[in-house]
A and B are shown apart, each in its own frame.
Chain A
């Protein structure tokens, strides 16, 4: 039994009368790929926002890697090794793709306003990070556009840049919010192949929101289904696919 990297314990998040997350508990085991599905407005992204620190939960706890991260700020959670991507890619527009990737590196010495003046204190780290960034750029196939401004690349390439940034952060757990939304089926499969490879070769753990179930179900170990802020079903992909509740939610609305 592998240990649980992420534990969400009975988390609630209400916005006024809207119960966006209404008592969710779930676990993500180490080195696994876990999916989170559900119709639009079921609270998936809100749950991601709560886990990654953008919203404070009204109740409940979030345990990451044995530490209670409830109420920590996003940049603090990031430093512990949990990173998230966005449904709509959020590029740093005036930076090149290469800079977008290297900029996500963790604990950069040269980011201090004092140390920045002394190049010898951070040059070596910066060069190492540059090599690492180029490695992930190669991995994600962004090499041909790496010198271009991130505002001038295609939507699919932006998604890949998001992924490369997340990889650059050296995180243990990556939350992906619809990594294959809006990209063509071939690229969608390619992205998930990459995720599978990352899990195998780099021992990473993924927690993925995805609407394209036909792709997602081929890759995930376990799936949670959310509806109106609650987990209504969970299990292995084929179990979930056959679960009448899930079929009802997706087909019956």
Chain B
């Protein structure tokens, strides 16, 4: 393996890890913070993808290119889309960004709406029933996307105009930028979004709102007794989680895959995201990112081993090896580290500052990270000295 293909692998890995982290953060809002096992995560991503497809084919051309759109599934669609619309997008970088931004916003909003719609009938039920209801809703969305051709064109993959990173790269180096730089900027953009997600969720949850979600998750009967509207709290978590998933769906379709296909949104992606949250640390946002990075590594390695096996030995099942690893990862996590790689921390609101002031006590979880690291290093060092 030479240097450039290694670099390519790393960039590809980081891009996948970034997209997975977006999904894991959104799953963590629902499952980690509010205790809603959203087995329908794929559907909310699919909404982002579907909106991206509709905007790219039908609304975008009119809005950003000034030409008539084409409806997928009609006879003249491929001729017009491949011959006219896609070339027009490639001439117009701004239009591709318009498609992305509009898709992210509209996709997020519709996903949030569906989150409420799907959850409401089952929101009072026990967690497992809610999970089943969401799983079925996701299957429903999948069937709709496969059969209603004007959305994503049915079961064939539809190429989408990805936001143009080439012009950004060109602006940096001038002339025709190397492909690797374009990919690096693309990956960097995904991670910028991850950072945005993290900042938003950390800010949102480091508040009485985050505490309320945990309260509802830990004991809903007591939550009701102490004035929390459990139904409302769960729906709020679904709104936030589904919005983030809808935006992530647009990112997945437009920036990462650069195409849509209803079969990209099967339940396996839901459970992969759930594995990330379980491995990374239920209720910890940073943990979700770590989980996303771990599972993305498994995913990439599984893909590589799978293709190698298929090409060298004619083995067809190699591509499914990573599912085996996910299963083992879930079992190992639950048995040996149920709190995940990075465990949940108490909700950090300004109340803790008052607590420290008045009691003079400083619980370890509110100490700044460097103090904790220093203490950890000191402990390791003294242990090393003892043994020496």
Contact residues of A with B, CB < 8 Å? 52-54, 73-75, 78-79, 83-86, 90-96, 98-99, 102-104, 106, 108-113, 115-117, 119, 122-123, 126-127, 129-131, 133-134, 143, 146-147, 165, 169
| Beyond A111-B209, A129-B351, 11 extra complex contacts between A and B, CB < 8 Å | A54-B221, A54-B224, A91-B222, A95-B215, A104-B226, A109-B208, A111-B211, A113-B209, A116-B204, A117-B200, A126-B208
CB-based contact A119/B222 at 8 Å? no
CB-based contact A90/B221 at 8 Å? yes
Residue in A74, A98, A129 whose CB lies within 8 Å of B225: A74
**Counting CB contacts under 8 A, is B155 at the interface?**
no
Residues of chain B within 8 A of A74, CB atoms compared? 224-225
**Counting CB contacts under 8 A, is B55 at the interface?**
no
**Counting CB contacts under 8 A, is B346 at the interface?**
yes
Q: Which of B190-214 contact A (CB under 8 A)?
A: 200, 203-205, 207-212, 214
CB-based contact A127/B225 at 8 Å? no
User: Do A165 and B226 contact each other (CB < 8 Å), given the known contacts A130-B355, A131-B354, A147-B361?
Assistant: yes
Q: Quick one: which of B208, B228, B359 has the most chain A CB within 10 A?
A: B208
A87 CB to closest chain B CB, in angstroms? 12
CB-based contact A119/B227 at 8 Å? no
Residues of chain A within 8 A of B358, CB atoms compared? 130-131, 134
CB-based contact A143/B209 at 8 Å? no
Provide the bound-state CA to CA distance between A117 and B352, in Å.
Answer: 18
A157 CB to closest chain B CB, in angstroms? 16
Provide the bound-state CA to CA distance between A134 and B283, in Å.
Answer: 26
Residues of chain A within 8 A of B183, CB atoms compared? none
Q: Which residue of B lies closest to A143 (CB)?
A: B359
Q: Which residue of A lies closest to B282 (CB)?
A: A94
Q: Quick one: which of B205, B207, B355, B359 has the most chain A CB within 10 A?
A: B207
B: number of interface residues (CB 8 Å): 43
Residues of chain B within 8 A of A127, CB atoms compared? 350-351, 353-354
Interface string of B59-98 (1 = CB under 8 A from A): 0000000000000000000000000000000000000000
CB-based contact B221/A110 at 8 Å? no
Residues of chain A within 8 A of B347, CB atoms compared? 95, 99
CB-based contact B228/A99 at 8 Å? no
CB-based contact B227/A93 at 8 Å? no
Provide the bound-state CA to CA distance between A85 and B222, in Å.
Answer: 8
Q: Which residue of B lies closest to A122 (CB)?
A: B208
Residues of chain A within 8 A of B368, CB atoms compared? none
Interface string of B332-354 (1 = CB under 8 A from A): 00000000000010110111111
Q: Which residue of A lies closest to B212 (CB)?
A: A111
Q: Which residue of B lies closest to A85 (CB)?
A: B225
CB-based contact B218/A86 at 8 Å? no
Q: Which residue of A lies closest to B240 (CB)?
A: A113
